[in-house]
Amino acid sequence: MDIFSGFNSSVLFLIKIAVWAFLTIYLIFAGVVVRQVKLMTETLEVGFEKGIRFIALFHLIVAFSVFALALIIL
């Protein structure tokens, strides 16, 4: 039993486009987070700048990986 059997192929295509659009916006958001963290660590010195930068870069890499997987799978 296919759960998507009731959907028209054009509806599924619109859902696919919407997912790609959302992931593109999220990838841009992850890039903005990296930029903001860079600016923050230049302004403030709290002692754990490397950890914060690592988390921001890791977040960007994961967001890009999810986007790439969505392009392949969808």
Residue 3 placed within a domain: no
| Token reading at 2 | 């296919």
| Token reading at 54 | 């690592």
pTM given for the model: 0.84
Residue 74 three-state SS: coil
Q: pLDDT tens digits, residue range 18-48?
A: 999 999 999 999 999 999 999 999 998 888 8
Residue 4 placed within a domain: no
Indicate the pLDDT class of residue 67, thresholds 50, 70 and 90: very high
Residue 37 placed within a domain: yes
32 and 56 in contact (C-beta within 8 Å)? Answer: no
Residue 9 placed within a domain: no
Q: What is the DSSP letter of 46?
A: -
Report the domain count for the chain.
1
Residue 52 placed within a domain: yes
What is the total residue count of the chain?
A: 74
